Amino acid sequence: MQKNARAANNREIERKFLLRWLPDKLQRSRCYIIEQGYLASESAGRQVRLRKKGKTASLTFKVGRGTHREEREIRLSPKQFAALWPGTAGRRLRKVRCEIHWKNLVIELDIYQGRHAGLVVAEVEFPDRASCRRFKPPSWFGREVTGEKRYSNVRLANE
Amino acid sequence: MQKNARAANNREIERKFLLRWLPDKLQRSRCYIIEQGYLASESAGRQVRLRKKGKTASLTFKVGRGTHREEREIRLSPKQFAALWPGTAGRRLRKVRCEIHWKNLVIELDIYQGRHAGLVVAEVEFPDRASCRRFKPPSWFGREVTGEKRYSNVRLANE
């Protein structure tokens, strides 16, 4: 499990926002490059994703849309990753992810590269439903886009 | 790669048939149980399959329909398999596979269990396109169903 906040029972509870402006804290945050691609995706948000984050490769299964999703993830060896990665051709994206600590949460800022350069999206993962509901976004957050297909990674990768 | 005949370049060249009768050779063939399930599948034959064959677990990506398909497969550790398998709930099937040697080829007889009990399908994989075209089915083969959605494993698993 790569995420900092992780709900039990293979559920991720997450909200997604556009930004009004980039926060000052960004300069002091930890950033890394993520490359990901999709082996298969169905319309109901069911998907199998391959991801490389630094030297760490993983395969993630997700199903569902919106705030609550089922998520199952395994680490892949470099050899496993290399065997599957060509299957994602034409369905890939690249982004810089920066982790910003904010109150008790970690905000993940995704700064898209390539075709989607200019797009920045913030994701917040919650340990439970209550904290998800209670969440008051910081001033630099813009419109919430949780569950909007237009901003789903699988859609962005396929465009 | 688990198959006996395997084309280069991650392609499988395969034909599928129904049977007129079960061959005598079946009694002397090697059989094992296969359990498989699908994490995701798209209409164009793009799919991610989990499979357990004896103690061997694997994840396979396939794309395309008909005789020629792209196929990428990795072995999974028991732990990797256990983490992903619940994601295939409601999209599984179980079959007994028997391998029959016939001329220079291996015929795989799939005897379906559970909901599809009674269905038997023969698959033949070829080392190249020429041998695929030249293939003369044995007398116990029935109608060819290569590429017919009705007999695709992903369809049978979802029914």
- The answer to whether residue B112 is catalytic is no
pLDDT digits (tens, 9 = 90+) for B55-64: 999 999 999 8
A33 touches chain B (CB under 8 A): no
Can you give the pLDDT at residue B9? 66
Report chain A's terminal Cα–Cα distance, integer Å: 28
- The tokens for A136 are 């008051």
Name which of A39, A41, A72 is nearest B84 (Cβ-Cβ). A72
pLDDT at B16 over 90: yes
Residue A95: the pLDDT is 96
Contacts of A70 in chain B (CB under 8 A): 87
3-state secondary structure of A20: coil
A110-143, pLDDT tens digit by residue?
Answer: 999 999 998 999 999 999 999 999 999 999 999 9
- For B99-119, what is each residue's pLDDT tens digit? 999 998 999 999 999 999 989
pLDDT attached to residue A12: 87
CB B145 within 8 Å of CB B33:
no
At B1, the pLDDT band (50, 70, 90 cuts) reads: very low
Alpha carbon of residue B99 to chain centroid: 12
Q: Would you call A106 an interface residue with chain B, using a CB distance cutoff of 8 Å? A: no
The pLDDT assigned to A142 comes to: 96
Q: Is the pLDDT of residue A84 over 50?
A: yes
B22-47: average pLDDT: 92
Instruction: Give the separation between CA B101 and CA B58, rounded to whole angstroms.
Output: 24
| SS3 per-residue string spanning B61-93 | EEECCCCEEEEEEEEECHHHHHHHHHHHCCCEE
Does pLDDT of A4 surpass 80?
A: no
Q: For residues B151 and B39, give the distance between their C-alpha atoms in angstroms, rounded to a whole number.
A: 19
The answer to whether residue B135 scores a pLDDT higher than 90 is: yes
Q: Which of A13, A88, A72 is nearest to B88 (CA)?
A: A72
What value does the mean pLDDT take over residues A22-35?
Answer: 92
Mean pLDDT for B6-17 is 78
Taking the Cβ of residue B59 and every Cβ of chain A, the question of whether any pair is shorter than 8 Å is answered with: yes
The span from the CA of A20 to the CA of B24, in Å, is 73
**pLDDT tens-digit map of B79-90:** 999 999 999 999
**Residue A85: its pLDDT value, please?**
98
Q: Please check the confidence at residue B49 and state whether its pLDDT lies above 80.
A: yes
Of A10, A48, A83, the CB nearest to B74: A83
Cα(first)–Cα(last) distance of chain B, in Å?
28
Q: Is the dihedral of CA B76, B67, A45, A30 positive or negative?
A: positive
pLDDT at B97 over 60: yes
Give the distance from residue A53's alpha carbon to the nearest chain B alpha carbon, in angstroms. 19
Query: What is the reported pTM?
Result: 0.87
pLDDT number for residue A63? 93
* Residue B58 vs residue A25, higher pLDDT: B58
Q: Predicted confidence band at A9 (pLDDT cuts at 50, 70, 90)?
A: low
Contact A74 B61 (CB under 8 A): no
- pLDDT, mean over chain B: 91
At a CB cut-off of 8 Å and minimum separation 6, what does A58 contact? Answer: A2, A50, A51, A73, A74, A75, A76
Mean pLDDT of A14-29: 92
Task: Say whether pLDDT at B4 is over 90.
Answer: no
Residue B36 has pLDDT above 90, yes or no: yes
Q: Which residue of the set A32, A38, A112, A151 is catalytic? A: A38
Q: Decide which of A62 and A10 is more confident.
A: A62
Euclidean distance between CA atoms A96 and B69, whole angstroms: 34
B80, closest residue in chain A (CA to CA): A74
